[in-house]
Amino acid sequence: MKIEKEIKMLIVSSYPPRECGLATFSNDVLISIKKVFGATLPIEICALQNEKVTYKYGKEVKYTIATSSLDNYRLVAEKINERNDIGLVCIQHEFGLHGGEYGNYILAFLLALNKQIITVFHTVLPQPDETRKKIVQAIIDLSNKIVVLTTNSREILVNQYGIQNSKINLIPHGIHSILWEQKKIVKDKYHYSDKIVLSAFGLISENKGIETVLYALPEIVAKHPEVIYLVIGKTHPEIIKSEGEQYRNQLVAITQELHLDNNVIFINEYVELKQLLDYLTLSDIYLFSSKDPNQAVSGTFAYAMGCGCAVISTPIPHAIEVLKEGNGILLNSFSNSNEFQEAIIKLVENKELRIQMGRKAFSQSQETIWENIAIKYGLLFCELTNKEEDLKFELPPLQLDHIKDLTTDYGILQFSIFSEPDLSSGYTLDDNARALINMIMHFSLYHDNEVLKLAEIYLRFIEGIQRKDGLFDNYKDIDCQLTAKNLEVNLEDSNGRALWSLGYVISHKNILPIDFIIRAETCWEKAFIRLNEINSPRAIAYTLKGLYFYHLVYPHDKIQVNIKQLADKLLELYNIHSEEFWSWYENYMTYVNNVLPEAMMYSYLATRETEYLKIATITFDFLLSHYFMKGQIKVISNRGWFKKENERVFYGEQPIEIATTIITLDLFYQITGNIKYKEQIKVAYNWYLGNNHLKQIMYNPKNGASYDGLEDKSININQGAESTLCFFKARMIMDKYANNNS
């Protein structure tokens, strides 16, 4: 029986070009779900209109409802019922958005609708009167699931509305990704580099409490004339209709009265997303001065934290919930200029504290980037429509951005702080060898000459760190000087990686410039004479990979002998340590485990010794039996290696282990044709895309980097070279499997 495809979600909400927070929210949900799930979760829109205005909507808007017409709600519901391809209706709820008393016209829509329904409550008011309570309870009774954006909203629904907790899903407000290092760049772009920028954003209304901040500023700017306050956003359209620009004019008058004309800038426009993110990114401090104690959530507040602003906020429920552990300042009251003044001065006069708060806000908010929110909505969709098998992750684009950012004239830097390259971390042979392999692989697949310039840098680094005796050091500082660490650690694995990278380059001599190959061969010949000194299992494995690739173009008997000698060392380790329920080369599994069976497979390909194939398959399948469980991959934790006699430790998963699993699965699938390897490749790569225990993406969608680690409750969002290069290579491999027929 053929599974029905393209069951759609219909979002009922205000929608752009209508200027409204919920319109922006719904558009962001649609865009992010399309990014994450592509065509496997198509979305249409039913746009809410509260007046006789004809908007020029995009093609995704299939229906409109005039919210002042009860009949219109019923008629549209009947049209939706006629559609077999709409599996779920997602209703955005805000008091005042829908017509009738407390928006009760939505009940007619829900009653008439014969679909699975999610209702998203953007505001949940405490201490409701009896009428409001009954309407909210009716909406919830007629919905299959409820979504709230804060824990506080969930608690109010449970404790004051009597709603079952099991029916409520918490999905926070999404934020847009930015790069941390853009804060300085954007500030320079707008010529604010010599300013301390305070900002507030949103459709302006009296509830925003902007005047509270204005009254706090005179003493601040008297001491710190470099402080400016950006008030970003036009007056709310509903306020314009009822009051005109009365409130804005009042704010302008206060500004003039307090002689703040040089320090307060009103940006009176509905700014597009890119410009909004620029303004928030360049802001040092975000001021949330709302006077509404019942404002459950604020998209602008969430955006500001996601842009790395130190936030000062009145105690709305959202702020109470989020501002903790030093990521901002929560005020005690509303409309208190003295409190704002004290908090602003504290951050203006303490740059280190200000930056620290911004970093914490930025780091803690990354779990709510729109891609992660899209995953949550996608999973909820699957739960209600039983379409989990049809939902597929979209492959992200292959991006060189972060690799380029990490690369200097000397080589690729080892670490970054968030996405900002950390110069103090210096360079390693390990990362430059990986980078060289990646660039050659990229060139062989996509024929982009640009990557050869990067490959030249990485090869030059390898040449420069090779000793006269042929061995390699591993660590150099930012000035490209060798560090003491080279004398403190075992460098065998690094030397093995160098041989692997050089062998890989040489194997592509038919497509690379001849001088490039000559240089790689010169390094190879110097290192090759030290083969007998390699004893570490992983160093042996890396060297075997290098020998295999070298053997592809120089199939000398001597190389085969070297391969057999090293492969036999791995075989001997297997025979020593393996037991009935432990088919492995050591008494424990540590890092980059896949390289051992991978090297055995390469040894088989070079020599056709069937014993190597047999052990490669046995050990790889044993490893996979510990990695794949319940539709996910869970690799060995860096918190504690998996020892033969001990229970396994979970969490602390590293991207390198995922990527090397994909690399080895790809090799085994190409050689054996075993379909299970192909299926496991997709499961493993989906770890990066959100199929992990946190249901969060493990890559930065802005720059193509990989985050450094998946912990039990959070993600390490630093983006070092090792993680990024491994992700980049895995992504290139996935192009083979983008077509399901591959």
* Confidence (pLDDT) at 682: 96
* Confidence (pLDDT) at 54: 79
- The pTM score is 0.94
Taking only the tens place, the pLDDT of each residue in 231-243 is: 998 887 777 777 8
Taking only the tens place, the pLDDT of each residue in 241-268 is: 778 888 889 999 999 999 999 999 999 8
250 shares its domain with 128: no
Do 693 and 390 form a contact (C-beta atoms < 8 A)?
A: no
* Confidence (pLDDT) at 740: 53
Lay out the sheet containing 43-49: strands in order across.
61-66, 43-49, 8-13, 86-93, 116-121, 145-148, 168-170
Taking only the tens place, the pLDDT of each residue in 475-498 is: 999 999 999 999 999 999 999 999
Residue 633 resides in a domain: yes
Residue 118 resides in a domain: yes
Here the tokens at position 385 are 């429509």
348 shares its domain with 424: no
Least confident of 160-174, 198-212, 502-516, 722-736: 198-212
Taking only the tens place, the pLDDT of each residue in 145-163 is: 999 999 999 999 999 999 9
Residue 379 resides in a domain: no
Cα(545)–Cα(444) distance, integer angstroms: 18
In this predicted structure, the answer to whether residue 742 has a pLDDT above a threshold of 70 is no
- What's the mean pLDDT when you consider all of the chain? 94
Residue 394 resides in a domain: no
- For residue 72, what pLDDT band results from cuts at 50, 70 and 90? very high
274 shares its domain with 221: yes
* Confidence (pLDDT) at 739: 64
For residue 172, give the 3-state DSSP assignment. Answer: coil
Give the DSSP per-residue string, 576-642: HH-BTTB-SSSSEE-SSTTHHHHHHHHHHHHH--HHHHHHHHHHHHHHHHHHEETTEE-PPPTTS-E
647 shares its domain with 720: yes
Do 255 and 218 form a contact (C-beta atoms < 8 A)?
A: no
Give the DSSP per-residue string, 43-95: EEEEEEESSS------TTEEEEEETT-HHHHHHHHHHHHT-TTEEEEEEEE-T
Residue 296 resides in a domain: yes
What is the CATH classification number for the domain harbouring 629?
Answer: 1.50.10.10
Cα(223)–Cα(218) distance, integer angstroms: 9
The residue from 368, 386, 419 where one domain ends is 368
What is the CATH classification number for the domain harbouring 58?
Answer: 3.40.50.2000
* Confidence (pLDDT) at 325: 83
528 shares its domain with 470: yes
In this predicted structure, the answer to whether residue 1 has a pLDDT above a threshold of 50 is no
The residue from 124, 142, 170 where one domain ends is 170
The percent of residues above 90 in pLDDT, for the chain, comes to 85
Residue 219 resides in a domain: yes
Of 713, 736, 573, 604, give the one whose Cα is nearest residue 662. 736
In this predicted structure, the answer to whether residue 181 has a pLDDT above a threshold of 90 is yes
Do 699 and 724 form a contact (C-beta atoms < 8 A)?
A: no
* Confidence (pLDDT) at 741: 44
Residue 662 resides in a domain: yes
- For residue 53, what pLDDT band results from cuts at 50, 70 and 90? confident
Instruction: Answer positive or negative: Cα dihedral of 628, 633, 635, 637.
Output: negative
Taking only the tens place, the pLDDT of each residue in 666-724 is: 999 999 999 999 999 999 999 999 999 999 999 999 999 999 999 999 999 999 999 99
Number of other residues whose CB lies within 10 A of the CB of residue 106: 25
157 shares its domain with 274: no
Taking only the tens place, the pLDDT of each residue in 595-641 is: 999 999 999 999 999 999 999 999 999 999 999 998 999 998 877 77
Which residue segment(s) compose the domain that 330 sits in?
A: 182-368
Q: How many domains does the chain have?
A: 3
* Confidence (pLDDT) at 3: 40
* Confidence (pLDDT) at 240: 78
Give the DSSP per-residue string, 207-233: GG-HHHHHHHHHHHHHH-TTEEEEEES
CA 705 to chain centroid, in Å, comes to 9
428 shares its domain with 500: yes
* Confidence (pLDDT) at 583: 96
Cα(297)–Cα(321) distance, integer angstroms: 10
Do 311 and 301 form a contact (C-beta atoms < 8 A)?
A: yes
526 shares its domain with 672: yes
409 shares its domain with 350: no
* Confidence (pLDDT) at 531: 87
82 shares its domain with 25: yes
287 shares its domain with 427: no
- For residue 299, what pLDDT band results from cuts at 50, 70 and 90? confident
Buried b (16+ CB within 10 A) or exposed e, 157-174: beeebebeeeebbebbbb
Here the tokens at position 164 are 């079952």
578 shares its domain with 705: yes
